[in-house]
Amino acid sequence: MKKIISMTVMNRPGVLNRITNLFSKRNYNIESISVGLTEQEGVSRITCVIHVESDREAEQITKQLNKQIDILKVTDISDQAIVARELALIKVLSTPQTRNELYALIEPFRAAVIDISKDSLVIQITGESEKIEAFIELIKPYGIKELARTGTTAFPRGTQKPVNTQKTYSIV
């Protein structure tokens, strides 16, 4: 199963290395990892999407991460109401014949064309990973030349629903 782990870390040299090291040492699978600054000086947020066999394994990962001295806080936010976003840039082949079709696909996904050349388009899309995956599947037949995804970044929503409600998905 997929889990999203969100953590705040001290922005010290080697901190990312410590985290990736831990993942490889403990034989954990990372799907994506994204890092960036936060509102607090000297503190960064790292969001990892991981694959685990069980909740127990996810708990182990969280505990091992928590043990790291440079990590301030670790939360498994998979079961919380969260906002999670990823950005992807996709360079897709386009001919005058297919261009309109592509635009028709882009529109409902609220993606944007950010570069056009003679035979290709660069599309930017943001959203939850599932949405991006769905979009990539649709675009694939046209011929993807290059693809770059940032990995998910996420945090909990301002308001949390009572515990046993369903996980919320946002549409966009």
Partner 1 sequence: MLQQAAITESKAKAKMVTGADLLLEALEKEKVEVIFGYPGGAVLPIYDKLYDSKILHVLPRHEQGGIHAAEGYARISGKPGVVIATSGPGATNIVTGLTDAMMDSLPLIVFTGQVPTNVIGSDAFQEADVLGITTPITKYNYQVRNIEDIPRIVKEAFYIASSGRPGPVLIDIPKDIAASVSKPPEEQEIKLPGYQPTVQPNYLQIKKLSEAVSRANKPVILAGAGVLLSKASNELKEYAEQQQLPVIHTLLGLGGFPADHKLFVGMAGMHGCYASNMGLSECDLLINIGARFDDRLTGNLQFFAPHATVAHIDIDPAEIGKNVQTAIPVVADAKEALKQLVKQNGKPPVHGEWLEQIHKWQEEYPYYYGESAALKPQKVMEMLYEKTTGDAIVVTDVGQHQMWAAQYYQFNQANRWVTSGGLGTMGFGLPASIGAQLADPDRCVVAVLGDGGFQMSTQELTVIKELNLPVKIAIFNNLSLGMVRQWQEIFYDKRYSHSKIPIQPSFVKLAEAYGIKGYEINTAEEAEVILEEVLSNREPVLLDIRIDPHENVYPMIAPGKGLHEMVGVKP
Shortest CB 133 distance to partner 1, Å: 33
60 in contact with partner 1 (CB under 8 A): yes
Instruction: Give the separation between CA 119 and CA 60, rounded to whole angstroms.
Output: 49
| Sole binder of partner 1 in the list 1, 10, 112, 148 (CB under 8 A) | 10
Nearer to partner 1, 10 or 148 (CB): 10
21 in contact with partner 1 (CB under 8 A): yes
13 in contact with partner 1 (CB under 8 A): yes
- What tokens were used for 103? 């635009």
63 in contact with partner 1 (CB under 8 A): yes
Instruction: Give the separation between CA 85 and CA 149, rounded to whole angstroms.
Output: 11
Nearer to partner 1, 24 or 159 (CB): 24
Kindly state the number of chain residues that form the binding site for partner 1, as judged by CB under 8 A. Answer: 21
User: Measured in whole angstroms, how far is the alpha carbon of residue 23 from the centre of its chain?
Assistant: 17
Backbone angles phi, psi at 164, to 5 degrees: -85, 15
The kind and range of the H/E element at 143 are none
The number of beta carbons lying within 10 Å of the beta carbon of residue 94 is 22
| Sole binder of partner 1 in the list 30, 32, 35, 72 (CB under 8 A) | 72
CA dihedral 14, 19, 24, 29 (to 10 degrees): -140
Judged by the rule CB under 8 A, the positions of this chain that interact with partner 1 are 9-10, 13-14, 17-18, 21-22, 25, 56, 59-60, 63-64, 66-72
